[in-house]
Structures are given as C-alpha cells and as structure tokens.
C-alpha cells in the first residue's frame, strides 16, 4: 500500500475510529486520542501487511482494539472514583459530549469485551462476523457478548433513572 493510499483510507476512517475509541474509553477524550494516534502509527508501520481484499476499517479497528487492550494491560495506575469522575467531566465538557455522561458511565460498567462488541455492532454498524474478526473472538462469543452487554446496559440505565 502506498503512503498516499494509506492517508486516504485513514482520512476516511479517522472520525469513526475516534468516536469508537471515545466510547470505548468511556468519554476519556485524551486517552481515546492517544490510543487512536498509537493505533494509526502501528497501522502505518504495518501497512505493507494489509491485504487489499479485506475491509480496511476492520483491519484498522483490530489494531485499535489491540492497542486499547495493551494499554489496559500495561496500565499500572488505577484512578480512584473521584479522579475518574473528574477526568470524565473535564473531557466530556471539552468534547461537547456531556449529554452522554450517563451512557459512558453505563458503558464503563461493562467488560471490555461486551463494551467493544456493543460499540462496534451498534455504533459503528459492523456485522457479527466483522466484530469477531476485530476482537479475535468467535461469532458465538460475540453474540453472547452482545446479549450480555445489552442486558447489563438496560439494567444499568433503567436503575439510574
């Protein structure tokens, strides 16, 4: 893949990728931007391994998802609830997403697998097969993650009202 072609493909996917990561990071805009930047860099370095007959966005989201998982795995500092709320509040205001705070908090209560499946399937419009390719899970596992995630979100959001 040429550098120019990569830039064209990234330009088309940049905003949807950021929305996905912002939701995956539960509204933490700075973390989402950091992960997006790292994922795009990794994708650029691996651009020659991309196979053209596959969907570019699926390949890119797989890299972004793995980058997020690596970040969570490597992260040795845990935010306290107060710190997490402060980070969320400032990022949400900065991103103009304050109205979604309740949803972000509900998403944060999901496991990373459930949250990822929900976001890719409902927010990004990927098929179950594509979600399975991105996460590296089987299609049946993705269906279970979607089912559990919907149930957990419904319970969390209905209890918050």
User: Of 51-60, 86-95, 108-117, which gets the smallest average pLDDT?
Assistant: 86-95
C-alpha distances in Å from residue 77, one per residue of 53, 54, 72: 40, 37, 10
Would you say residue 81 has pLDDT above 80? Answer: no
Would you say residue 77 has pLDDT above 70? Answer: no
Which comes out higher in pLDDT, residue 94 or 62? 62
The answer to whether 92 and 104 have CB atoms below 8 angstroms apart is yes
Instruction: Summarize pLDDT for 113-135 with one digit per residue, the tens.
Output: 999 899 889 888 899 999 999 99
Q: What pLDDT is attached to residue 93?
A: 45
Q: Phi, psi at residue 54, to the nearest 5°?
A: -95, 155
Instruction: Summarize pLDDT for 135-156 with one digit per residue, the tens.
Output: 999 999 999 999 999 998 888 8
Q: What pLDDT is attached to residue 161?
A: 52
117-120 long-range CB contacts below 8 Å, 24 or more apart?
117/142, 117/145, 117/146, 117/149, 118/145, 118/146, 118/149, 118/150, 118/153, 119/20, 119/23, 119/24, 120/20, 120/61
Q: What pLDDT is attached to residue 100?
A: 65
Q: In angstroms, rounded to a whole number, what is the distance separating the alpha carbons of residues 148 and 94?
A: 31
C-alpha distances in Å from residue 158, one per residue of 22, 89, 153, 161: 23, 22, 8, 6
Q: What pLDDT is attached to residue 80?
A: 42
In the structure, what pLDDT confidence band is assigned to residue 109 with cuts at 50, 70 and 90?
confident
User: Of 9-18, 106-115, 139-148, which gets the smallest average pLDDT?
Assistant: 106-115
Overall average pLDDT of the 37-56 stretch: 90
């Amino acid at each position: 893949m040429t550098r120019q072609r990569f830039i064209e493909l990234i330009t088309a996917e940049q905003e949807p990728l950021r929305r996905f990561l912002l939701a995956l990071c539960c509204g933490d805009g700075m973390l989402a931007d950091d992960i997006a930047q790292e994922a795009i860099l990794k994708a650029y370095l691996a651009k020659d391994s991309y196979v053209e007959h596959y969907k570019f966005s699926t390949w890119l989201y797989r890299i972004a998802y793995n980058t997020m998982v690596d970040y969570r795995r490597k992260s040795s500092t845990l935010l306290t609830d107060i710190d997490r709320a402060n980070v969320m509040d400032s990022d949400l205001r900065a991103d103009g997403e304050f109205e979604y705070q309740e949803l972000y908090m509900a998403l944060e209560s999901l496991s990373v697998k459930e949250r990822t499946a929900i976001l890719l399937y409902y927010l990004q419009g990927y098929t179950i097969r594509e979600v399975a390719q991105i996460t590296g899970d089987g299609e049946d596992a993705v269906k279970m993650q979607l089912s559990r995630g919907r149930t957990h979100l419904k319970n969390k959001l209905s209890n918050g009202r």
